[in-house]
Structure 1
Amino acid sequence: MPLVREPLSRQRSEELTRGFKALADPVRLRLLSLVASHEGGEACVCDISASFELSQPTISHHLKVLREAGLLDCERRGTWVYYWVVPAALQQLSSVLSPTTGAPAAAAVPA
């Protein structure tokens, strides 16, 4: 339910916090973007690691945080792990920030 309709309950706030905290890190936000935009909707860790100047253990840590937040899921295939975005988790986060139809428009800020 969007914030503009009613305030979040304590429980709902706590449920959403893990996802927002996970996305608050620039590396994790970029990792999520790379996985989401990868051809076929899933990416091997071997395909996305080269996009960062970080060690493999650091990349793995960030992917683990995204998995634990429920934003990514994964599967081991041989020696590689493949990741994909969990659409329902992203929908939950985005829906709470979406304005509803008929809500008062925000006042324009003069430039």
Structure 2
Amino acid sequence: MMQHKAEPQDILAVFREAIPAFQVLSDKTRQDIILLLDEHEETGLNVNEIAEKLPLSRPAISHHLKNLKQAGLVDVRQHGTGNYYYLTLLQAVEHMKHLISLLENNCELK
């Protein structure tokens, strides 16, 4: 069964919605943070724990975490007096899968 072709403006809208995730994922430090959080998915990590594992200051780590949170790739929960960051990749990954599907079904792949 053949897939219905999407309108170019619909594909463009999906591209535009993906921009925040693509922007934050293009940074190597943020990629490192994502992998660290994945290794500690059950407990999450606080800024100090991330800073112990990466050669960055706590303010720099906080800045990267803020960007990841704004893009919807991480979230934070309070535990005691600390804030622990954890991954929330599902929506971003589903959005990227949708974009890939649109491209596969509507663009000539060579």
TM-score range, shorter chain: 0.7 to 0.9
Aligned counterpart, 2:47: 45
Structure 2: distance between partners of 1:14 and 1:43? 31
Count of aligned pairs between the two proteins: 101
Q: Give the unaligned 5+ runs of structure 1.
A: 107-111
Q: Is the 8 A contact 1:43 1:84 kept in 2?
A: yes
**Is the 1:20–1:93 contact (alpha carbons within 8 Å) kept by the matching residues of 2?**
no
Q: Which one is further off, 45-54 or 64-73?
A: 45-54
Aligned equivalents of 1:49 and 1:63: distance in 2?
12
Picking from 32, 35, 40, the partner of 2:34 is: 32
TM-score (norm 2): 0.72
Q: Secondary structure of the residue that 2:84 maps to in structure 1?
A: strand
Q: How much is the aligned-residue C-alpha RMSD, in angstroms?
A: 2.8
Aligned to 2:22: 20
Would you say the 8 A contact 2:47–2:58 is kept in 1?
no
Q: SS at the partner of 2:72?
A: coil
Structure 2 counterpart of 1:90: 93
Instruction: State which of 55, 58, 67 in structure 2 corresponds to 1:56.
Output: 58
* Unpaired runs of at least 5, structure 2: none
Q: Deviations over 1:32-60 (max 9, x none)?
A: 11101215162233322211111100000
Question: Comparing both structures, which one devotes a greater share of its residues to helix?
Answer: 2
Aligned residues with identical type, % of pairs: 31
Q: TM-score, normalised by structure 1?
A: 0.72
Name the CA distance, whole Å, in 2 between partners of 1:60 and 1:95: 30
* Secondary structure of the structure 2 residue equivalent to 1:43: coil
Q: State the one-letter code of the partner of 2:94.
A: Q
